[in-house]
Amino acid sequence: MLKSVQTKDYMSDKIFKVSEQTDLFAAIDMLLEYRLSAAPVVDSDGQVVGIISEADCLKAILTLTYYEEEKGGKVGDYMTRDVTPVSIDTDIIAVSELIIDKDLHCLPITQNGKLVGQISRSDVLRAVEGFSVSS
């Protein structure tokens, strides 16, 4: 059995986040630099208000190209707003089910309503690897 099956033991606590006012191309640069598939979008109080994903960025670029606009806009114009962060104490199985059911690449992790990390598909796979190692 795994030593722990809580999200906090597998999440990344290196927080790469943006605000709704962040320039879209700055967000794209960050995703590329840190090899992220998505990043949480937070308000001035640190509350998660959305997520900006590679897919959101691609859609934005295609839209901008179609309309021949030269400026990129802000993250808030293109982010996904329907994001439900999970608590740091959430069971890794529940996180896995949410990622699968909603076809997500990652989820923001909160503690007392504040962003404390992110968990990705690869983080969940590390947890699953623990199942086979401990068997």
Domain boundaries, the chain: 7-134
- CB contact set of 37 (below 8 Å; sequence gap of 6+): 31, 53, 54, 105, 106, 120
What pLDDT does residue 1 have?
A: 45
Span 21-77, pLDDT tens digits = 999 999 999 999 999 989 999 999 888 999 999 999 999 988 877 766 666 789 999
**Between 2 and 97, the higher pLDDT residue:** 97
7-134: in CATH 3.40.228.10? no
